[in-house]
Structure 1
Amino acid sequence: MDSPERDQWLWPDWHPHPAVRAAVTTRAGNISPKPWNGFNLGLNCGDQPARVEQARHCVEKHLDADHPVAWLWQVHGKRVIRAGEQDSEADGVWTDQQRWPCVVLTADCLPVLLARTDGTAVAAVHAGWRGLQAGIVGEGLASIAPNGEPVSAWLGPAICGKCYQVGDEVYRAFVDSNAAFKPAFQKDATPHHWRFSVAHAAMIELAALGVTDVQGGDLCTACDLNRFYSYRKEGETGRFASLIWLDEGS
């Protein structure tokens, strides 16, 4: 079993503040066999827990943080917790403490990393279509910027609008609540279906919430199976991590 090196991860070219750090793991590594082949960090996708824990230990070793990574048990909701809370059933986590990595796991859903531009707080949010429509991004923002302090966002790898087919129920869930979401959908050749860009929808939501500095959103999990997991493309598969934390500014 081979663990990945740090240079096999994705390090976003995103610099909201000198104290903010971010990373995205990839499939690089040889800890889990097929169908999770590579570096699976998800405990709820059928892989052996011992292998997942080994992979998670590798992440923590590479980060060498003061606190353990704030792993979540994600449920496609909108609850956001503070790192260190005992009840980890949530889809977002935030911290204002240095060297306490916040993380979300995905395999098509959109990871949204949020950072106050004064470098005092960060959050990681898991935005599948249900969580996004329910307001998970707003919950993440309220956690780190309750008084509307400036925030920058980075959108991680997620299934793109060309690859993601959804039904009328998803279209109606968004557009009936806010017509501004219409540009995130394109009519599909299949009747009563649409192609949906969750990244575009997140950009619309962030703009409505006053976040003007939004970067990323151009990496597709289904188009890049060499680096990322895609549940829609593969079925049973693993999960990769998008992490954000605070360090000493430089």
Structure 2
Amino acid sequence: MTLPSRSKWIWPDWQPHPHVRVAVTTRAGSHSPSPWNGFNLGMNCGDQTARVEQARHHVEKLLQADHPVAWLKQVHGKRVIRAGESDNEADGAWADQQRWPCVVLTADCLPVLLARTDGSAVAAVHAGWRGLQAGIVAEGVKSIAPAGEPVSAWLGPAICGKCYQVGDEVYRAFVAAHTDFKGAFQADASPGHWRFSVAQAAMIELARLGVEDVQGGELCTACDLTRFYSFRKEGDTGRFASLIWLDEEGN
């Protein structure tokens, strides 16, 4: 049983401000047995609580942060909390203090990491189709930029449009919210079904919110089971983390 080093994580080439730090854990390692093979950080997928807590402590140790990672109890909603709030049933967290990591756990849903371009605040939101349609991205942007301050976004690993089939009810829900979302769907060969790009839907939403700098969105969880967990592809599986925090320049 081995715990991974920082070298096994993904460190995106995205720097909206010198104070912003971002990391994505992978499933590399042998800490978690089958069916969570690798390095599971999710509490809601059947793994032993003690083992998941050990994995989370390992993440905190490697980050050497001043504050505990703001782990959430994600429920596919649109609530965004400030890091450190005791009621952590939410799908997003934000922070304006240095070295207080915000995190979301995923295994096909889209992690959306947000940063004020002046380096004063960051947020992480969990954007499955339900949360995205309900407005989780808008809540995340509003939490760090209440007066419309410039924001940059990075889209983490999620199931891609070629791999993600949804029913007509998902298409109707998005189009009813805004017709621009039609651009995230392609008609599937199966009647009443669509291929849906959650990353494209997030880009459409971010554009509507005035976020001009949007990067990432190319990594597919279902296409890369070596590095990521995919609920759609694997069924019983683990969760990996996408983290964002503020730090001193150069650290």
Structure-2 residue corresponding to 1:182? 182
Structure-1 residue corresponding to 2:209? 209
Structure-2 residue corresponding to 1:159? 159
TM-score normalised by L of structure 2: 0.99
Deviation at 1:30, TM superposition (A): 1.0
Structure 2: unaligned runs, 5 residues or longer:
none
Q: C-alpha separation between the residues in 1 aligned to 2:208 and 2:222?
A: 28
Structure-2 residue corresponding to 1:249? 249
Q: C-alpha separation between the residues in 1 aligned to 2:59 and 2:246?
A: 16
Structure-2 residue corresponding to 1:229? 229
- What secondary structure does 1:125 align onto? strand
Structure-1 residue corresponding to 2:150? 150
**What CA RMSD, in Å, does the superposition of the two structures yield over aligned residues?**
0.5
Structure-1 residue corresponding to 2:86? 86
Matched, 1:132 2:132: yes
Deviation string, structure 1 residues 14-66 (Cα, Å, up to 9, x no partner): 01000000000000111111110000000000001111011101100000000
Deviation at 1:13, TM superposition (A): 0.4
AA partner of residue 125 (structure 1)? V
Which contiguous aligned blocks of 4+ residues in structure 1 show a shift greater than 2 angstroms?
A: none
- What secondary structure does 1:176 align onto? helix
Percent of aligned positions that are identical: 82
Deviation string, structure 1 residues 151-210 (Cα, Å, up to 9, x no partner): 000000000000000000000000122110001000001100000000000000000000
Deviation at 1:88, TM superposition (A): 0.3
Deviation at 1:226, TM superposition (A): 0.2
Structure-1 residue corresponding to 2:110? 110
Structure-2 residue corresponding to 1:61? 61
- What secondary structure does 1:163 align onto? coil
AA partner of residue 105 (structure 1)? L
AA partner of residue 76 (structure 1)? H
- What secondary structure does 2:177 align onto? coil
Structure-2 residue corresponding to 1:41? 41
Q: C-alpha separation between the residues in 1 aligned to 2:64 and 2:73?
A: 22
AA partner of residue 189 (structure 1)? A
Q: C-alpha separation between the residues in 2 aligned to 1:13 and 1:64?
A: 21
Structure-1 residue corresponding to 2:73? 73
Deviation string, structure 1 residues 48-91 (Cα, Å, up to 9, x no partner): 11110111011000000000000000000000000010000000
Structure-2 residue corresponding to 1:200? 200
Q: C-alpha separation between the residues in 2 aligned to 1:12 and 1:175?
A: 32
- What secondary structure does 1:2 align onto? coil
AA partner of residue 196 (structure 2)? F
Q: C-alpha separation between the residues in 2 aligned to 1:228 and 1:238?
A: 9
Structure-1 residue corresponding to 2:5? 5
Structure-2 residue corresponding to 1:26? 26
Q: C-alpha separation between the residues in 2 aligned to 1:80 and 1:147?
A: 17
TM-score normalised by L of structure 1: 0.99
Q: C-alpha separation between the residues in 2 aligned to 1:127 and 1:69?
A: 19
Deviation at 1:132, TM superposition (A): 0.2
AA partner of residue 11 (structure 2)? W
Structure 1: unaligned runs, 5 residues or longer:
none
- What secondary structure does 1:140 align onto? helix
Q: C-alpha separation between the residues in 2 aligned to 1:163 and 1:32?
A: 26
